[in-house]
Structure 1
Amino acid sequence: MRGPASPKILSLLLATAISSSALAQRADGFALYVDRHPTDAEAQANFTNAKFEPRTGCYAGAFIDLDNTILETFKDSTGKVRRLPWAFESVVGKTHATYFYYMGYGRRLASDWITKLGQDGKIVHIALEPNDGLNLVMDDAYLTTLAKEMGQTKTPIFLRFASEMNGPWVKYHGNPKQYIEKFRLIAKKMREFAPNVAMVWCPYATPTNPIPSYYPGDEYVDWVGVNIYSVTFYNQDPRMSGKGVHPVEKLDYIYNRYAKKKPIMIGEYGATHFSALENTSTTEFAKKSIMGMYESLPRKYPRVKCINYFNTNNLTLEHRKNNNYAVTQNPEVLNLYRRIIGQDYFLSQPTDNQGFLADAAVQIPVSGENPPSLYPLQPKPIVQKQELSGIVRLSGWIEDPTGAANMHFLINDKKVHVGYTKDEWFYEFDTTQFTNGRLKLELVAERSGKTLGRYPISVIIDN
């Protein structure tokens, strides 16, 4: 991984003390956080041991095939032209662990493309769509061949079959019983011939009412996904504003219902920086939305283990000219994406079969207070009497769809920093400037002069 330089934290309390001393986390995620490596117990607490699941952290993924600013391409064996990940990564400044593409059910598998991505250290994510209806999904030679060919690639594959089934816009909506039957058939074939495939069940964020009726069952689902988009207006309808919706509001239903038993994947996410309906730039909306989504994950949604950015300009598509989501086509949005995705928390590589980073050349510890370096650095709520050393990165967080909240950082009741935007909700705390011993930290969240919350806490400086 190539993220920003890690702050130096020389000592932490035992995992048992951490778990018992933390302030109760509010529903809006408000807390004072410090970047540190999680303990074994903390990592284990959010790990379900699903196929390809990292113990902690979140895979960075993307869809790039329709981004015409990426000129380096590969023509696969089916005749499709694919954009090369390294070209995208050179722009966004971060290697991504997984890339997805769409495949119509009944079409040939691009085995050479899948194999190439696998050799480059990627998890391949296939959105397999039965766009001609579920009746064509049968236990036949096509399905058996498809499963065998996926298995022969030896590449880790996320297979997202018939996603967004809860929406009337797809042809496989409306018959939950048949849907479950077909999903289970696909899962059984993959288990038989392609053990390298993880099955992803992925509704759209709305409508929520039909979602449970389509669930195939724990035995057949490896990951639960959800597709989410942040747009200024839904369905290009000026009566349906999305400007005041925080992106994680659309995540809550799936997360609250399924995250305790399955890792969660955001199958597709995009935020518009140009709206066709308004015919104007919506750059600030995109920045606020992307920041809100990605920064929420380690703080409030640690069981989201993969997020895939939809890097596409839909304004160039004949069938869907609505929004431009491509971070590569807006300098301000690109700079923000680079900063956020550069964090260690967003993983650049698949983990091994135990959920640890594959290139971590350290012995996996069984217990102990020293956090192992193979766990990525991430924001964790500060706890009472936590020991801090060196330079540490503090951050505040609250779910704020208005974008107007600000964060006040105080040390021993003296204000040291005010963050007026999400970009500024951070403070580099040099503990060497203070005498060893107990010290008071406090975070105050305000909006329009009104206090939204206070987070006072005592820490121990130990340099």
Structure 2
Amino acid sequence: MTPQHRAPKRYQRRVFLGLAGLAAVPTGAVFMLQSRTQAPPAEATTGPSAAPSASPSASPSAAVTVPKIVTSGGGPVPFRRGRAMLGAYLGLDGLSPASAVDLRRRQLGRDLRILHVFYAWTDVLPRSIAWLPDDAYPMISWRGTDHASVLRGDHDALIARNAKQIRRFGRPVLLRWGWEMNGDWYAWGGADNGDNAAGYVKVWKRIRSIFADQGADNVSWVWSPNWNDSPAAKWNAKARYYPGDDQVDWVGVSGYNLHREAPGTMFQPIYDAYATRKPIMITEIGSVDRGGSTKADWITLAANWIEQHPAIGGVVWFDTDTHPGYHEKWRIDTDRESLAAFRAMARDAHFLG
């Protein structure tokens, strides 16, 4: 995504909802709101400087040879070749998480397979989520902090405590620690740590090692960069942040249609780089509505593109209208056409997971 549309660098994405309204979520949880990697134009003057985005007119997959894909993997949350679990971050105005899940169940005629929630670095991660459907997996996006303090061991007790929490969850969990590390908007990104990606890899390995020591073997580890690097410098290339095949269960990616980006423009490079080794998950995705059927058309375009790429085992929509200071309504039911397009995807056998 293009960072000229991101909120100010120190504005913390996924702002906390009042916990009083989230009684169903364990203490410390944050069912957080997202300031997009491409945040609203109104905030652009206070955001970090822009890096050029790919041309929106680029063909999604022209002249691209689709690689031989993985046939297994995913860790405790297994990958099924040619099937994509459909999920969402749900932050719907006036609705509790449980009510939002129920609304989507009624609209789509089925439950979502992945429910996406966000936690701050110092939060206590959940050992249960009351509103999680029986056949759904939680994807927990856990914020990070600076590299040096983690590598000194300052947070070992916190990490171990959360590993124990997740171990007690009682079902497989997708854990997405320190996402979009190749952007310059987070404390755990290379740009805030001496323009160096190596520290991120060391932190990842330390966290995963502590989880292993605590017996948290129900975790599928999701490594999830942004689709474009910001800054677009050699040291900040997303591949430099990759912890290694033995450290990652799913390769994720964030990408939003804000400037008429085709799905392939955002997702094909990640697919080409990793689909021979790891299952792919589109961990954050959404589309601007430019009037008429533009949003519905893009949802259909994305669904078709995903079906043509069988290593994609999950797609998690950014389904919300509650992001503070953001005019765009990302929820899937902003109009009948968009809901119909999303419902068609949800009822397609490819997306039953």
Fold similarity call, TM over 0.5: yes
1:160, 1:202 within 8 Å by CA — same for their partners in 2? yes
Q: Report whether the alignment pairs 1:284 with 2:306.
A: no
Describe the shift of the 1:129–1:45 C-alpha distance in structure 2 as closer, same or farther (beyond 3 A).
closer
The CA deviation string for residues 352-378 of structure 1, in whole angstroms up to 9 with x for no partner, is xxxxxxxxxxxxxxxxxxxxxxxxxxx
1:94, 1:338 within 8 Å by CA — same for their partners in 2? no
- 1:323-334 alignment, distance < 5 Å: 323-334=328-339
Q: 2:284 aligns with which of 265, 268, 271?
A: 268
Q: 2:87 aligns with which of 58, 61, 79?
A: 61
Given residue 68 of structure 1, which amino acid in structure 2 is its aligned partner? Answer: D
More strand as a share of residues: 1
Q: 1:338 aligns with which of 315, 318, 343?
A: 343
SS in 1 for 2:345: helix
Q: Which residue of the partner structure matches residue 303 of structure 1?
A: 311
Q: For residue 72 of structure 1, report the CA deviation from its aligned partner.
A: 4.8
Q: For residue 263 of structure 1, report the CA deviation from its aligned partner.
A: 0.3
2:263, 2:305 within 8 Å by CA — same for their partners in 1? no
Q: Which residue of the partner structure matches residue 213 of structure 1?
A: 240
Q: 2:254 aligns with which of 210, 227, 231?
A: 227
Q: Which residue of the partner structure matches residue 73 of structure 2?
A: 49
CA distance in 1, matches of 2:179, 2:345: 27
Q: For residue 134 of structure 1, report the CA deviation from its aligned partner.
A: 3.2
Q: 1:253 aligns with which of 269, 277, 281?
A: 269
CA distance in 2, matches of 1:142, 1:287: 43
The CA deviation string for residues 229-272 of structure 1, in whole angstroms up to 9 with x for no partner, is 011xxxxxxxxxx23x3122110111111110000000110011
Describe the shift of the 1:151–1:58 C-alpha distance in structure 2 as closer, same or farther (beyond 3 A).
same
CA distance in 1, matches of 2:283, 2:126: 20
Describe the shift of the 1:156–1:327 C-alpha distance in structure 2 as closer, same or farther (beyond 3 A).
same
CA distance in 2, matches of 1:116, 1:89: 12
Q: Report whether the alignment pairs 1:103 with 2:119.
A: yes
- 1:434-453 alignment, distance < 5 Å: none
1:46, 1:56 within 8 Å by CA — same for their partners in 2? no
Q: For residue 219 of structure 1, report the CA deviation from its aligned partner.
A: 1.0
Q: Percent identity?
A: 24
- 1:148-159 alignment, distance < 5 Å: 148-159=164-175
Q: Stretches of 4+ moved more than 4 A in 1?
A: none
SS in 1 for 2:124: coil
CA distance in 2, matches of 1:158, 1:59: 12
CA distance in 2, matches of 1:178, 1:97: 33
- Name the count of aligned residue pairs: 275
Q: CA RMSD in A?
A: 2.4
Unmatched tracts of structure 2, length 5 or more: 1-59, 191-195
CA distance in 2, matches of 1:289, 1:324: 15
Q: Report whether the alignment pairs 1:183 with 2:204.
A: yes
2:220, 2:250 within 8 Å by CA — same for their partners in 1? yes
Q: Report whether the alignment pairs 1:163 with 2:168.
A: no
The CA deviation string for residues 273-304 of structure 1, in whole angstroms up to 9 with x for no partner, is 2xxxxxxx5352212221111111122x1101
The CA deviation string for residues 98-139 of structure 1, in whole angstroms up to 9 with x for no partner, is 1111111111123231x652x622111001111x43344345
CA distance in 2, matches of 1:328, 1:170: 30
SS in 2 for 1:229: strand
Unmatched tracts of structure 1, length 5 or more: 1-25, 31-43, 75-82, 232-241, 274-280, 349-463
CA distance in 1, matches of 2:263, 2:81: 24
Given residue 47 of structure 1, which amino acid in structure 2 is its aligned partner? Answer: T
2:253, 2:282 within 8 Å by CA — same for their partners in 1? yes
Q: Which residue of the partner structure matches residue 203 of structure 1?
A: 225
CA distance in 2, matches of 1:331, 1:171: 39
Q: For residue 92 of structure 1, report the CA deviation from its aligned partner.
A: 2.6
CA distance in 2, matches of 1:125, 1:29: 34
1:47, 1:56 within 8 Å by CA — same for their partners in 2? no
2:69, 2:275 within 8 Å by CA — same for their partners in 1? no
Q: For residue 305 of structure 1, report the CA deviation from its aligned partner.
A: 0.4
State the structure with more CA Rg: 1
